[in-house]
Amino acid sequence: MPLSNCLRSGAATVLVASVPPVISSRLTFTRKLIMPHSPDDPLSPILPVILAGGSGTRLWPLSRKHYAKQYLSLDGTTTLLQATVARIGGLPCVAPLVICNEETRFLAAEQMRQIGKDGALILLEPAGRNTAPAIALAALQAQVDGDDPVMLVMPADHKMAAPDVFADAVKAATPHAQTGQLVTFGINPSYAETGYGYIRTGDSVGRGPALSVAAFVEKPDATTAADYLATGGYLWNSGIFLFRASRYLAELETHRPDVLAACRAAFAGKAGDLDFLRFDAEAFLACPDVSIDYAVMEHTNEAVVVPIDPGWSDVGSWAALWAASEKDADGNCAIGDVISLQGSGNYINAGSRLVAAVGLQDTVVVETKDAVFVAPKNRVAEIKELITQMTADSRPELDHHRVVYRPWGMYDSVDAGHRYQVKRITVNPGAKLSLQKHHHRAEHWIVVRGCAKVTRGDETLVLSENQSTYIPLGEIHALENPGKIPLELIEVQSGSYLGEDDIVRFADKYGRA
């Protein structure tokens, strides 16, 4: 089939929102992040810093090591990452900084592109070192052109039912941040929660809603939490902060100079890579693992807290997600193809097939293509023990879903057995897999939709629907979608070893080794 015919096939452009497209734009890392501003201007631009690292194993099997909860659409519309960006839409913000890890970088970039935030700069942590170092890297980047913006630091995995309430609180807190104070936001507690840290409040600060911070309190037991709720003066610690980049770095220098020194060394070795900013891995790995609370907020004399009640949840467990979700008259939350009879208080999530239940009470059922989780709602915290057991057993279901996203598209592992594996591969329009070879497997490709341009040794083939080709073991090859619609093909692998690490790359447009 001629290539020109492939390019014309399928007149309508098809958008597959869940598949990352080719990311070809390159950022200039010395660009100015914010406009010049006056310290007294309450409408000065704010730099959002979105913390999108972490594994989120408490929401397994939806959340996986390489597909954490911030990238999930728990309400069927936007993902938690996208909702985090959307809730600051009414604030005078510039393009955000997103901090994530190596494995999820293309997923983060795609989700930002889907909501029109292509200008977001994505900082890649060489390894997880908690929030204090991550925020330090963001603060150093924020000052790269001599600016000193007010940074709004937000975890990407929270839900808020009333984002306008949050936006109003940020506006009220901005003058405090502009004059050098470190603002955190405390959630007015609605029940005696033992899974959150608390903030004990002090006197009013200024004429706004801010209060002094008397103490940060560790997660309490049930009796202590009930006392906090009864006596008042305690707020849930939301992990959301507002401060100038320079003030945070100055406080870090005072209280944890070892953290700042390691981050400065890592930042000195920064390098741009497509839409991402990388840091010196060796220097960053030497950085202590410490949260912003332990490193700075518990020691500074400049901390203030603004109480808010935006319908907040950290979505830290299946029970918390049930509490934050819409429910029917019987208290059931059902997502996907669910039939539930004579049940109440349940959370049932059917990801890929029908889930039918009779007589369930206060139960969590989560179904994905490769795993099912079932537990009484009051015992979902014991998923930690389950994860420990699965880790000891090296279960692959902890790392990836059956569907795995790549910068060029995705693949779905349909079937596997002794010496064979079958995948359904989707390649985005204009995308290309790396020029590569395998030492231990051969591959058969059958095109089921779209057009494939195949490099096989010295040959170049153009395949249309219902055509196929064979890639012998050890043959250098590449796959490209030159068409206007997604390319879908079935890949049958056969050989002595079928792991994803059996790839020798010779050229890759996404900068992978």
User: If pLDDT is split at 50, 70 and 90, which confidence band does 74 have?
Assistant: confident
The pair of structure tokens assigned to 457 is 């040794």
The pair of structure tokens assigned to 229 is 């709720």
75-79, long-range: CB within 8 Å, 24+ apart, which pairs?
A: 75/325, 76/335, 78/115, 79/111
Lowest mean pLDDT, pick from 73-77, 145-149, 216-220, 480-484: 73-77
Distance CA 320, CA 283 (A): 37
CA-closest candidate to residue 284, choices 153, 132, 399 = 132
Distance CA 338, CA 341 (A): 10
- pLDDT tens digit sequence for 394-447: 999 999 899 888 889 999 999 999 999 999 999 999 999 999 999 999 999 999
Domains, in order of start, for the chain:
38-313 (3.90.550.10), 328-392 (no CATH), 403-507 (2.60.120.10)
User: If pLDDT is split at 50, 70 and 90, which confidence band does 115 have?
Assistant: very high
Q: Is 113 helix (H, G, I), strand (E, B) or coil?
A: helix
**How confident is the model over 181-188, as a mean pLDDT?**
97
**How confident is the model over 464-491, as a mean pLDDT?**
97
Percent of the chain's residues with pLDDT above 90: 80
The pair of structure tokens assigned to 49 is 């810093």
- H helices of 234-346, in order, are 245-255, 257-268, 281-285, 292, 318-324
- pLDDT score of 273: 81
* Strands 150-155 and 198-204, bridge-based pairing: unpaired
Distance CA 169, CA 12 (A): 45
pLDDT at 261 over 70: yes
- pLDDT tens digit sequence for 149-176: 999 999 999 999 999 999 999 999 999 9
pLDDT at 373 over 70: yes
The pair of structure tokens assigned to 404 is 């795995």
pLDDT at 12 over 70: no
Identify which has the larger pLDDT, 24 or 102.
102
User: If pLDDT is split at 50, 70 and 90, which confidence band does 511 have?
Assistant: confident
CA-closest candidate to residue 375, choices 389, 360, 390, 388 = 360
Amino acid 289 reads D
Spatial contact of 386 and 379, defined as CB atoms under 8 Å apart: no
Identify which has the larger pLDDT, 18 or 79.
79
- pLDDT score of 390: 96
| Cα torsion through 425, 427, 428, 432, rounded to 10 | 160
Query: What backbone phi and psi angles, to 5 degrees, belong to 223?
Result: -65, -45
Distance CA 232, CA 199 (A): 11
Distance CA 271, CA 395 (A): 35
- pLDDT tens digit sequence for 31-64: 334 333 444 455 578 999 999 987 768 999 999 9
Count how many Cα atoms sit within 13 Å of the Cα of residue 148 in the half-sphere of its side chain.
13
Count how many Cα atoms sit within 13 Å of the Cα of residue 408 in the half-sphere of its side chain.
22
- pLDDT score of 22: 33
- pLDDT tens digit sequence for 326-364: 999 999 999 999 999 999 999 999 999 999 999 999 999
Distance CA 432, CA 339 (A): 42
pLDDT at 8 over 80: no
Where does residue 294 rank: exposed (0-12), middle (13-18), buried (19+ CB within 10 A)?
middle
Distance CA 292, CA 157 (A): 17
Distance CA 401, CA 398 (A): 8
Beta strand ranges found along 346-408 (DSSP E): 347-350, 355-358, 363-367, 372-376, 403-406
Distance CA 55, CA 72 (A): 12
The pair of structure tokens assigned to 455 is 């490099």
Distances (CA, A) of 54 to 69, 265, 442: 9, 23, 35
- pLDDT score of 335: 93
pLDDT at 225 over 90: yes
Count of C-beta atoms within a 10 Å radius of residue 163: 18
- pLDDT score of 275: 79
Q: Cα 157–160–162 angle (5° rounding)?
A: 160
- pLDDT tens digit sequence for 299-323: 999 999 999 999 999 998 999 999 9
* Strands 338-341 and 355-358, bridge-based pairing: parallel
User: If pLDDT is split at 50, 70 and 90, which confidence band does 6 have?
Assistant: low
What's the DSSP call for residue 30? T
Percent of the chain's residues with pLDDT above 70: 91
